[in-house]
Amino acid sequence: MSGNNRQYAFFLGCIAPNRYPGIEASAIRTSANLGIDLLPLKGASCCPAPGAFGAIDLNVWYAMAARNIVLAEQMGMDITLICNGCYKSIYEVNEKLKHNDDLRDGANEVLAEIDMEFKGTIDVWHLAELYYDPKIVGIDKIAESVTRPLTGAKIAVHYGCHLLKPGKERHFGDTENPMWIEELVAALGAEPVQYRNKMQCCGAGGGVRGYDLAHALDITNEKMINLQEVGADALTEVCPFCQLQYDRGQVEIEEKFGIEWGLPVLHYNELLGLAQGMSPDELALDLHAVDVEPFLKKIL
Amino acid sequence: MAVKKDYKDQKLVEKLQDRNYYVSDSNPEFIKEVERLGRTAAHMCYQCGTCTGSCPSAPRSSYRIRLFMRKAILGLEEEVLTDPDLWLCTTCYSCTDRCPRNLAPTDAIMAMRNLAFKRDIVPRNFLKTVQAIYKTGHGVPNNDANRAARKKLGLDEEPETTHKYPEYLPGLRKIIDHYKMKEKADRILAEGE
């Protein structure tokens, strides 16, 4: 931790800390190398999952997300996070409560019962957008931080849904064929590859993974077909829930459909960790369901 | 010369010719509820089908978002809320992104799901997530294998969340209890046993 570093309250969510802790570990270390300190947001909960909670009672979704936001307001810090699902809940509820009195009053009525109040004093950022923003980090600084370039690896990007869409409620520009995460990948020395229907959903969201697994996996499988066509060595994303769906999903696809893909799936922070010299052990890559070894052989 | 449209189904022909045809179980208030909860002017939908054409669930199921929009506008509450397809939206927001009327069909679907839940119509997996969050604060809680992995990484076994600070759980539970959500999840799951 250095005195000049920017500080953010680090919202963890569920799947990164509880299933892929390497994402959490690498986010903290790689960000520190880039001048960003991620401080614990003590007592935060599930965002809560927009598909699971928003789908059945939006009021609970607003109030529970607001509680997480208020914890950061009390620290006087903006939130940053590493998951698109969390981004939808935390970013969107923060914006909705800031701009709609009825929603804010509704949430505050409940929060008052636990001596909390949503004030609307902070902003919420996905860590990937802080990396891309030249005023915070920027592509050049990312490239400078690389000690082990991922040369020779063809990496496809899955943007996920809730970071960029709906575009009119976000600030990321083009949602049909964005290229900024490809720029972040290229900064690591890898070759970003384009593929058909890049913006298609992983299939897991909206509670569909739990409701109809075969349906969700069929959507996932379509992406696998499109990725194989272009010969990607790995898929990267900025959402642990998408990662879970693509990584564990491949095992489930094999069980259910008898198709074996064997495509390694890595969160951008895990890639960045590798490029900054972290070892596979320091990233707990052995927790991935799909063996990451073929990809590591290519770059190490 | 105009061509007269012909339908083989005699009942349908009669329906179409009846200028006073009225669906008795249509609820005109339904679309207003959907608009209030979804915060989108769903009645403006002109049925272009861009939504269904953008939908990742449509090619692999009978789920048609355009149809849900139409049925909602027609007030076919019963049909909408009891249709199992209602739960096949992955909330990817492609339809919302592309809607030429600037509507949010995804949020209309979310609103319809909220209204279904009010009538206890809800898939079990949603309720199990409620129970998990109520118990631990997480929809996907920690486990022993993961604790061991965290330790090896130099992280605390429990993340800096309600897992490490369970003293925050009562506050969280109060919010859920305020809306009687846990109570309802328990009851519906027990009834299904």
Q: Is the pLDDT of residue B113 over 70?
A: yes
Q: Spell out the residues 6+ positions from residue A207 whose beta carbon is closer than 8 angstroms to its own.
A: A51, A52, A55, B87, B123, B125, B126, B129
* pLDDT for the residue numbered B126: 97
Q: What is the mean pLDDT of each run of 10 residues along chain A (300 residues)?
A: 86 98 98 98 97 95 98 98 98 98 98 98 98 98 98 98 96 97 98 98 97 98 98 98 98 98 98 98 97 95
pLDDT at B24: 78
pLDDT at residue B144 in the model? 98
**What is the model's pLDDT at position B33?**
98
Q: What is the ipTM of this complex?
A: 0.96
- Does the beta carbon of A213 lie under 8 angstroms from any beta carbon of chain B? no
User: Which of the following CATH numbers is that of domain A147-299: 3.90.640.10, 1.10.760.10, 3.40.50.720, 3.40.50.11810?
Assistant: 3.40.50.11810
Of the listed ranges A59-73, A213-227, B13-27, B51-65, the least confidently predicted one is: B13-27
Q: Which pLDDT belongs to residue B2?
A: 58
pLDDT, position A3: 73
Q: Which CATH class is domain A6-127?
A: mainly alpha
Measured at the CA of A15, the angle between CA A284 and CA A277, to 5 degrees, comes to 30
Nearest CB to B142 within list A18, A57, A203: A18
For chain A, the structural domain boundaries read 6-127, 147-299
CB contacts of B172 in chain A (<8 Å) are 45, 64, 67
Q: Report phi then psi at A30, rounded to 5.
A: -65, -35
Give the rounded percent of residues in chain B with a pLDDT score beyond 90.
85
- Count of CB pairs separated by less than 8 Å, A with B: 207
Measured between CB atoms, does B131 come within 8 Å of chain A? no
Specify the pTM. 0.95
Is domain B24-118 given the CATH code 3.50.50.60 in the classification? no
Two tokens at B27?
């609820």
Contacts of A48 in chain B (CB under 8 A): 133, 139
Measure CB to CB from residue B56 to each of A162, A201, A211 and give the nearest one.
A201
At B5 the pLDDT is: 63
- What gap in Å lies between CA A188 and CA A134, rounded to an integer? 16
Can you tell me which residue has the tokens 């898929």? A235
pLDDT tier for residue B19 given thresholds of 50, 70 and 90: confident
| Closest residue of chain B to A59, computed from CA coordinates | B179
Asked if the model's pLDDT at residue B22 lies above 80, the reply is no
- Using the predicted structure, report yes or no on whether residue B18 has a pLDDT greater than 90: no
* A255 and A248 Cβ atoms separated by less than 8 Å: no
What pLDDT is attached to residue A121?
98
> Which DSSP symbol is given to A270?
H
Report yes or no: B166 at the A interface, CB cutoff 8 Å.
no
H or E stretch at A235: strand A234-237
- Tens digits of residue pLDDT in B70-96: 999 999 999 999 999 999 999 999 999
Q: Does A161 touch chain B (CB under 8 A)?
A: yes
| Binding-face residues of B in 39-68 toward A, CB within 8 A | 56-57, 60-61
Q: What is the pLDDT of residue B17?
A: 81
Among B110, B142, B167, select the one facing A54 at the smallest CB separation.
Answer: B110
Contact (Cβ atoms closer than 8 angstroms) between residue A13 and residue A85: yes
Give domain limits for chain B: 24-118, 124-192
Mean pLDDT of B138-165: 98
pLDDT-derived band at B3, boundaries 50, 70, 90: low
pLDDT at A1: 53
Scored b (16 or more CB within 10 A) or e, A117-144 reads: ebeeebebbbbbbbbbeeebbbbeebee
Distance, CA of A162 to CA of B122 (rounded, Å): 23
Quick check: A48 and A89 in contact, CB under 8 A? yes
If you measure CA to CA, which chain B residue comes closest to A28? B155
Predicted confidence at residue A169, as pLDDT, reads 94
What residues of A are in contact with residue B170 (Cβ under 8 Å)? Answer: 114
- A59 touches B: beta carbon within 8 Å: yes
Looking at residue A300, its pLDDT comes to: 83
Per-residue pLDDT, B4? 63
Q: Using a CB-CB distance cutoff of 8 angstroms, which residues of chain A are in contact with residue B142?
A: 17-18
